[in-house]
Amino acid sequence: MKATVKLALPGYTGNMDDVVIYYNSKLNKLIARKKGKSDFVPDNTITKEIYAFARRINLSADYKKDCDKYINAYNSKNRRNGKAMSSWPSVWMKVMRAQKKLLPELDLNTLTREQAIEANLGCISIAKAVEAGFLENVPGHQKLTNLI
């Protein structure tokens, strides 16, 4: 029997000078990256609008489960490329940013769930988002049809 260690430095995560070390369970890797320092801080109003919209319409649990199923399919498809998604908010943000880019006049502060469904927007389901090109095509995305 051989003993194996998943982590190069078992149990170590954190900051070290200008390096950040952490374990990414989705990629099953220990990641060390340079700590970024930015002079430019982008405006966060679109992010606030997107998450306020999600809270206001109270995203359905089925939609979130579909996000998790999409994440599993995406990660299994792209694991070799070192790409991974970790949670439903990352999928939601990607979909809504693409929706906002496609329709810049869309006002998320006044939009309701019923209006989004009536307008047949690309964000109303994961399958619709993949068809609209907001998300990468993964096997089985046609089954992810639960509405927001």
Q: Are 98 and 122 in contact (CB under 8 A)?
A: yes
Per-range mean pLDDT, top range of 18-22, 33-37, 51-55: 51-55
Beta strands in the chain (DSSP E): 14-16, 19-24, 29-34
What is the rounded distance in angstroms from the CA atom of residue 54 to the CA atom of residue 66? 15
Tokens coding 139 = 């096997």
Average pLDDT over residues 23-29: 81
**45-70 pLDDT tens trace:** 999 999 999 999 999 999 999 999 99
Average pLDDT over residues 69-73: 95
Q: Are 74 and 142 in contact (CB under 8 A)?
A: no
* pLDDT band, very low/low/confident/very high, at 1 (cuts 50, 70, 90): low
Domain borders along the chain are 44-143
CA atoms within 13 A on the CB side of 128: 18
Amino acid at position 64, single letter: K
Radius of gyration of the chain (CA): 19
Does the predicted model carry a pTM greater than 0.85? Answer: no
Of residues 21 and 100, more confidence is placed in: 100
Of residues 76 and 15, more confidence is placed in: 76
